[in-house]
């Protein structure tokens, strides 16, 4: 059993070749979030696998413990003085041009202070309606066509096209979409509104529409 504190940088876990896995207790500022099992590959678990496993199993406990503290703290500097990290928003859609139009309208109306790109992934479409919509009505939106059906394939294609380390998924292009964020190295270096830094490997998910970004 090892301890992983998320306010400290994650690292490769080395446990020797006689073990098949390592059990880790994950903490945030000393408070336990839960335990995870890390599979060993020739005695080592890479930092990437550690971060991915934390995201897959402890995203909700992390968000539940971390976010209320941040909302309770006063801002130490005006929002205008903060360096906002760049953000890639991926919209996965399939044969729903009307909903896509509503979603893109909301995204393009966002007043996000940092760099923002919107990527539409058209997943195995039956026609070119979504492609024409992006071309005709949504200047500045990047269109990508993924021929293989499946939301995971569409998301992976979007991530491959994203220019920035922080990726937000709009799971459905209609009402009530699911949003998720994956933190990359630049997010961990970007200052928060309170002037401090994000914990290493921080990730979170939640419900909300494009306007909630």
Q: pLDDT tens digits for 128-138?
A: 999 999 998 76
Q: Give the global pTM.
A: 0.49
The low-confidence residues of the chain, meaning pLDDT below 50, are: 174-213
Q: What is the model's pLDDT at position 183?
A: 41
- DSSP assignment of 69-120: HHHHSPPSS-GGGS-PPPEEEEEEESS-HHHHHHHHHHHHT---SS-EEEEE
Residue 22's nearest CA partner among 6, 42, 1 is: 1
Give, rounded to a whole angstrom, the gap between the first and last alpha carbons of the chain: 37
Give me the domains of the chain, ranges plus CATH numbers: 2-72 (no CATH), 79-212 (3.90.550.10)
Q: What is the model's pLDDT at position 80?
A: 55
Q: What is the model's pLDDT at position 48?
A: 92
Cα atoms in the Cβ-side hemisphere of radius 13 Å centred on 111? 2
Q: What is the model's pLDDT at position 139?
A: 75
């Amino acid at each position: 059993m090892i301890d992983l504190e998320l306010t400290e940088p994650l690292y490769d876990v080395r446990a020797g070749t006689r073990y098949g896995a390592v059990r880790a207790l994950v903490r945030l500022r000393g408070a336990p979030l839960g335990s995870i099992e890390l599979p060993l590959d020739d005695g080592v678990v890479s930092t990437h696998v550690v971060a991915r496993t934390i995201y897959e199993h402890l995203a909700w406990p992390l968000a539940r413990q971390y976010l209320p503290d941040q909302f309770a703290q006063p801002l130490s500097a005006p929002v205008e003085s903060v360096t906002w990290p760049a953000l890639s928003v991926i919209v996965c859609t399939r044969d729903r041009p009307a909903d896509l139009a509503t979603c893109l309208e909301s995204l393009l109306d966002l007043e996000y202070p940092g760099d923002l790109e919107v990527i539409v992934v058209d997943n195995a479409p039956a026609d070119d309606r979504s492609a024409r919509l992006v071309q005709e009505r949504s200047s500045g939106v990047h269109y990508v066509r993924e021929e293989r059906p499946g939301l995971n394939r569409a998301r992976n294609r979007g991530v491959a096209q994203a220019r920035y380390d922080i990726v937000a998924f709009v799971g459905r292009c209609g009402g009530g979409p699911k949003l998720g964020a994956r933190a990359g190295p630049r997010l961990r270096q970007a200052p928060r509104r309170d002037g401090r830094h994000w914990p290493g490997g921080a990730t979170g998910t939640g419900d909300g529409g494009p306007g909630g970004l």
